[in-house]
Every structure is written in structure tokens, then in C-alpha cells.
């Protein structure tokens, strides 16, 4: 059951003189909801960028299903089964909600330009399958009624949900969520927690970055804490919550510490 | 607002009408439009006539040729958002293929046509693969350079005529009853129109399917497109190659009609003018681009009787138009639509996923 889906070994990421990640070891087990927390600038999104191939780490290993991800192109990483959302929403605003999702679902199509021009049976089949998958996911995220609306015209919450739907459309094994609850009200957060659980129960593995502690403590099986590019804790939520180093990172050192 | 009352959005109304129309009406409308354009050379209407130049010739070049090239460039600039300032290079490659093979071998137009298209596509791959990693301005500069290089190479190679170019290019063999001669531009126009319709059909199919979505994604956010699994380099090269193929086909046909070509016909002005057609009509909107190209090509011919000042009038008209409609005549605007089957699901997580 504790099969490691994603594993970062001694990953260091330097930008010039700045060390964003310093010898970080991190793993995500298959079928769990893992969380990555830490103060602003701790390197959380850098972890996502290293995993998805946006950055090539200065040193260290990134393995997914025991295969190295280093040096792979971004679209190849997505094809292998890692999909992500973005901290600042990055939808295709001029495309409809359905088109956004279907763009993700296209990953597994094999037909391309020639198939599209000549309308080959495979192209038609894959188009239909991608659209069906897209509608299914829109319905799952409660966005079916938005299918024909442009991404930029959706309300904020729906944009966040659409990003999750688009990421799911690539059929990932691992779903990376970058602050999915940012800007949500308490009721929306509860609904989101339920959705994330449902996604896990459907067989996906989730790694999320989040600042909302109650959400994290509620849904995650394991929490890793980053501070100034270093991992300072990695355990079940209860233990992490009471770890003095974590409290220090978030709240500063107690006044009586000498 | 007072102007709101008078604003009649022709495009939206036309699109609504089209969407509401049953199939028989769409088919009959399409057939009548196509028939009209095939009959256009016989139309002797004083409104669209071109005093000072032969109307039938104008229909072939510049009008038809600009429309064809603008559709091709629109795949690159409009659909995928890649600024290509050297588009004329592919036109030149098509034209020179026709000129060289036509004068040195016994191949005829129909046999050279696929070779010209293939050569244009190959040069599209050769130029595109290394350079399409660049973005925005950098890509524009590289393509600008490529356009000039092709022309300068043609000027400097004596074997292909150097600056004097190539003369005596053969006309296409007779097709059915149509005779291709220098005196009658009608058959050329019909061939060009057929090419154009074929390309419109292809472009529309691509736009509605996976390549269209990939290009949309690349144009809007290249990084996110990659992270959503779009092989962006592959689709950019495809856009480039398809654009090149269209220009190559145009070049072959052009050379076989004009009978002699010189390198200076393929200068930067042509690239800029085709790009102007695309921008003027509405970047990314196929029908807008066609209309823009037709107008930009036709207007200088229509006002030829003004002789020298006509370019000034043309320039003023251009500036005025771009002020009135900064996004082009028919701007690209995705229309939102609703399907009654998409019933409202208020709660998140209503559906199930596999």
C-alpha cells in the first residue's frame, strides 16, 4: 500500500545565488492525499515546477513510478501522468470551458493534423471520446451548465474548479493542486474538500499546496513542511501540527528562546 | 447610449441566422455563394469594375492570390499567434519551383504543383524546427530575415537567372475545355478559387478539432499548453508548414500565369501586405481575413483612375478603418452558447468520475 508514486531525492534548485530548494527529500504514496505547506517563498511552487519539468533541478533526482522525470519535456511529463493547476489561475480565457477541458483530454489522442483534415475514423472517435470525457469532468466539478461559456467570463470559483477539471482531463495518476482553495469562502472550502476526497477515492493521488490549515488538517493523509527551501517536517497532520519547528517557521521563535 | 441603438452587429446576426438554418438552407446558401464566385469574372457591374485594369486579371492577381495567401498566413499568425514576417519566402519557393522545373524539364503544371508544395513545406520544417522555440519579437526577426535571404539568394544565383529572373514559364495544359493562355485569366482564377475553397474546407476542419484546440492553447498561453500535454513545438511547426504549403501552391500557380518572374517581386512588401490583410480583416477570423484580403487587394485597383494619388487615398482609407475597427473588419470573437441539455448543477461534485 505504501508504494511511492513520486519521489524527490536530494533535490536542489538554485537560481543564481538563491537556493530555492535545498536537498529536499519528498515522496507521495500511491492513493493518498499529501499536502505541502510552508510560509510564502518556502519553495512549494518550485517543487511543482521541478516535478512538471518547468525547471530542471540543479542536482538531485525526481522519480515517478520509478522512472526519472529529469530532462523530460513538459508535455511528456503530463503524458506520463502528472497534471497540475496554477496558483494564479491560468485558463485559456478565450476558449470555452468545454474546450479548456478537451484540450487536456487531447493528451491521449493519437490523431493529429492529417487525421483532422481528412476526418479519419480514428480522429472522429477520439474527438467524440475527448468531448465526452470533457463533459463528464465538467459535470463532476459542477460546471456542466458553464460548458459553452468562455473561460475568462466564468466566476472566480468556477475558474478554479475548471482548472481542476482541465488537469483531470489528462487522466493523471498524480494531481498537483496549487492553492486550490485560495479566495474561497468557508462553504466553498468544505465543498472543495469533499471534491478532493472524491478525486482520491476515484483512484487519483493528490499532492496539494495550501495555506488553509483547517482544510489541510481535514483532508490530508500526510503533510510535508518546507521553510526556506528545506524540509523541516513530514508526518501525519497531528504530529506536524505540534512540531515546534513548524510552529517556529509559521509564527516565529517563542520569546523565551535564547 | 445613443450609439447602442444603431449598432447592428451584422456578424452576430449572420452567425445566428446560420445556426438557426436547417441543413437544406445551409447547403443551398453555400452552393449559391460558391456559384457566384465562379461566375464573378463574367459580372460586368460598374460598381465592382476596375477602370484602368482588366477586371478578370485583377480577380486572379491580386485579389484571389491575396485571399489565398491571407488564409495561409492566418493559420500561422491568427490561429497559433506566431508572427511571421517572411511569409513571401514560401510563395517565392513555389514560384521558383514552377519556373525552374517548367523551363528545364518536361513536367507540366499539375506535376510541378505537388513538388512546389512539398518544397515549401520542407523549407517550413527546416525554418520552423530551430526557430519556433523563439517567441514573439524574436521569431518575427528571424522570419523577416528568412524572407529576405530567399530573395537575395535568388538574386545572386546566376543559374536561376539572378536579378533578371526566369522567363518563358510554360502555362498549364488544357483542362477540360479551359485553355490556359496569357490572354485569358479566367481559367487561372477558377483554379485559384478551387484551391481556396479546398483550403477553407481543410482549415475549418482543423480549427474545430484537436489541432485547432492546440493552436488556441498555444496562442493564449504557451507554457500552460505544454503543461496540459500539448506538444507545442510540433503544432507550431505544423502551423508553419501548412501556411507554407498554401503559399507554395499560390506561388506555383502565380508563376504559371505571369510567365516570367524576377526576385524583386518577392520582397518584404508582399509579406507586410499579406499580414496587413490578416490584421485588417480580423486576426484569427477566417471570413474576416478573406474579406480583408479581398478589400485590400481590390481597392487600389478600383481607384486606379486616380493614378498616383491612389496610394495616398488607399493609405488614408486604411488608417481610418483601423481607427474605426481596431480589431479588424470581422474581429475574432468566440460566441458563447448554451445547450438546454447542460442543466444546472449547483453543488460541486454532483457527477462521478472514472
Taking CA–CA distances from B342, the nearest residue in chain A reads: A145
Chain B residues in contact with A74 by the CB 8 A cut-off are: 223, 226-227
Q: How many CB pairs under 8 A join A and B?
A: 156
Is B190 part of the contact surface with chain A (CB cutoff 8 Å)? no
Cα(A204)–Cα(A161) distance, integer angstroms? 16
* Per-residue model confidence as pLDDT tens digits over B292-323: 999 999 988 888 787 777 778 878 888 888 89
Chain A residues in contact with B350 by the CB 8 A cut-off are: 139-140, 142
| Residue located via cell numbers 491571407 | B70
Q: What is the model's pLDDT at position B340?
A: 64
Nearest-CA distance from A137 to chain B in Å?
7
Chain A residues in contact with B345 by the CB 8 A cut-off are: 139, 142-145
In chain B, where the domains are located: 55-266
Q: Is A38 exposed, middle or buried (0-12, 13-18, 19+ CB in 10 A)?
A: buried
Which of B211, B232, B343 is opposite residue A145, by nearest beta carbon?
B343
Decide if the complex's ipTM is over 0.90. yes
Q: What is the model's pLDDT at position B8?
A: 61
Question: Is the Cβ–Cβ distance between B207 and B78 less than 8 Å?
Answer: no
Interface mutation vs chain A, best among B335, B336, B353, most A CBs within 10 Å: B353
pTM value is 0.91
The pLDDT of A146-163, averaged and rounded, is: 94
Question: Is the Cβ–Cβ distance between B96 and B160 less than 8 Å?
Answer: yes
Provide φ and ψ at B174, rounded to 5°.
-60, 145
Is residue B62 reached through a cis peptide bond, with omega within 30 degrees of 0 on the bond before it? yes
SS3 A143: coil
Residue B351 in this model has a pLDDT that exceeds 70: no
Grid coordinates given for A75: 508535455
**Cα A81 to the chain's mean position, in Å?**
11
* Per-residue model confidence as pLDDT tens digits over A37-95: 999 889 999 999 999 999 999 999 999 999 999 999 999 999 999 999 999 999 999 99
SS3 A7: strand
CB atoms near residue A226 (< 10 Å) = 27
Alpha helix segments (H runs only) across B44-108: 55-58, 65-74, 88-104
| Residue located via cell numbers 483550403 | B199
* DSSP-derived secondary structure for B39-51: HGGG---TTT--T
The CB-side HSE value for B312 (13 A sphere, CA atoms) comes to 4
Closest CA to B132 of B276, B207, B210, B243: B243
Grid coordinates given for B57: 486579371
| Residue located via cell numbers 486550490 | A180
* Per-residue model confidence as pLDDT tens digits over B95-153: 999 999 999 999 999 999 999 999 999 999 999 999 998 888 899 999 999 999 999 99
Chain A residues in contact with B230 by the CB 8 A cut-off are: 75, 103, 106
∠ CA B275-B277-B278, nearest 5°, is: 65
The pLDDT confidence band at residue B349, using thresholds 50, 70 and 90, is very low
Put simply, the answer to whether A140 touches B334 (Cβ < 8 Å) is no
Amino acid at each position: 500500500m505504501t508504494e511511492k508514486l513520486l519521489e524527490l531525492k536530494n533535490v536542489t534548485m538554485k537560481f543564481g545565488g538563491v537556493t530555492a530548494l535545498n536537498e529536499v527529500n519528498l515522496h507521495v504514496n500511491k492513493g493518498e492525499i499529501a499536502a505541502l505547506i510552508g510560509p510564502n517563498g518556502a519553495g512549494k511552487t518550485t517543487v511543482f515546477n521541478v516535478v512538471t519539468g518547468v525547471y530542471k533541478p540543479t542536482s538531485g533526482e525526481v522519480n515517478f513510478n520509478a522512472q526519472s522525470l529529469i530532462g523530460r519535456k513538459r508535455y511528456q511529463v503530463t503524458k506520463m501522468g502528472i497534471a497540475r493547476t496554477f496558483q494564479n489561475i491560468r485558463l485559456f480565457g478565450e476558449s470555452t470551458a468545454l474546450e479548456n477541458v478537451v484540450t487536456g483530454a487531447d493528451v491521449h489522442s493519437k490523431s493529429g493534423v492529417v487525421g483532422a483534415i481528412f476526418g479519419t475514423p480514428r480522429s472522429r472517435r477520439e474527438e467524440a471520446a475527448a468531448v465526452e470525457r470533457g463533459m463528464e469532468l465538467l459535470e463532476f466539478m459542477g460546471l456542466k451548465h458553464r460548458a459553452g461559456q468562455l473561460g475568462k467570463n466564468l466566476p472566480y470559483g468556477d475558474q478554479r474548479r475548471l482548472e481542476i477539471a482541465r488537469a483531470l482531463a489528462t487522466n493523471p495518476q498524480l494531481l498537483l493542486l496549487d492553492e486550490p482553495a485560495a479566495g474561497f469562502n468557508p462553504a466553498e472550502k468544505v465543498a472543495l474538500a469533499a471534491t478532493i476526497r472524491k478525486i482520491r477515492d476515484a483512484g487519483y493521488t493528490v499532492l496539494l499546496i495550501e495555506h488553509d490549515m483547517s482544510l489541510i488538517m481535514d483532508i490530508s493523509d500526510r503533510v510535508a513542511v518546507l521553510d526556506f527551501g528545506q524540509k523541516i517536517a513530514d508526518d501525519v497532520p497531528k504530529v506536524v501540527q505540534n512540531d515546534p519547528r513548524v510552529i517556529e517557521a509559521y509564527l516565529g521563535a517563542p520569546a523565551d528562546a535564547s | 447610449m445613443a450609439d447602442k441603438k444603431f449598432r447592428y452587429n451584422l456578424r452576430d446576426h449572420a452567425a445566428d441566422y446560420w445556426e438557426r438554418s436547417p441543413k437544406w438552407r445551409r447547403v443551398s446558401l453555400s452552393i449559391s455563394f460558391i456559384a457566384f464566385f465562379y461566375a464573378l469574372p463574367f459580372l460586368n457591374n460598374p460598381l465592382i469594375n476596375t477602370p484602368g485594369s482588366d477586371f478578370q486579371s485583377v480577380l486572379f492577381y491580386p485579389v484571389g492570390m491575396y485571399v489565398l495567401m491571407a488564409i495561409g498566413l492566418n493559420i500561422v499568425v491568427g490561429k497559433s499567434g506566431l508572427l511571421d514576417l517572411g511569409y513571401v519566402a514560401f510563395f517565392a519557393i513555389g514560384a521558383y519551383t514552377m519556373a525552374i522545373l517548367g523551363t528545364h524539364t518536361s513536367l507540366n503544371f499539375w506535376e510541378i504543383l505537388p513538388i512546389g508544395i512539398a518544397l515549401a513545406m520542407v523549407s517550413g520544417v527546416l525554418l520552423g524546427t530551430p526557430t519556433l522555440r523563439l517567441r514573439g519579437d524574436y521569431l518575427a526577426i528571424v522570419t523577416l530575415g528568412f524572407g529576405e535571404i530567399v530573395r537575395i539568394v535568388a538574386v545572386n544565383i546566376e543559374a536561376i537567372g539572378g536579378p533578371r529572373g526566369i522567363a518563358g514559364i510554360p502555362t498549364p495544359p488544357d483542362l477540360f475545355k479551359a485553355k490556359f493562355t496569357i490572354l485569358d485569366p479566367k481559367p487561372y482564377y477558377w483554379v485559384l478559387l478551387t484551391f481556396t475553397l479546398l483550403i477553407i474546407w481543410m482549415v475549418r476542419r482543423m480549427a474545430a478539432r484537436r489541432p485547432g484546440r492546440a493552436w488556441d492553447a498555444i496562442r493564449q498561453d504557451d507554457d500552460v499548453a505544454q503543461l496540459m500535454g500539448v506538444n507545442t513545438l510540433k503544432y507550431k511547426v505544423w502551423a508553419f508548414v501548412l501556411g507554407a504549403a498554401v503559399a507554395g501552391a499560390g506561388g506555383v500557380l502565380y508563376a504559371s500565369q505571369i510567365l516570367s518572374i524576377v526576385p524583386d517581386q518577392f520582397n518584404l512588401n508582399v509579406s507586410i501586405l499579406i499580414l496587413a490583410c490578416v490584421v485588417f480583416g480580423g486576426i484569427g477570423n477566417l471570413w474576416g481575413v478573406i474579406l480583408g484580403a479581398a478589400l485590400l487587394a481590390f481597392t487600389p485597383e478600383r481607384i486606379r483612375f486616380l493614378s498616383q494619388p491612389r496610394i495616398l487615398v488607399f493609405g488614408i482609407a486604411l488608417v481610418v478603418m483601423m481607427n474605426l475597427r481596431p480589431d479588424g473588419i470581422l474581429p475574432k470573437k468566440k460566441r458563447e452558447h448554451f445547450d438546454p441539455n447542460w442543466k444546472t448543477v449547483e453543488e460541486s461534485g454532483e457527477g462521478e468520475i472514472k
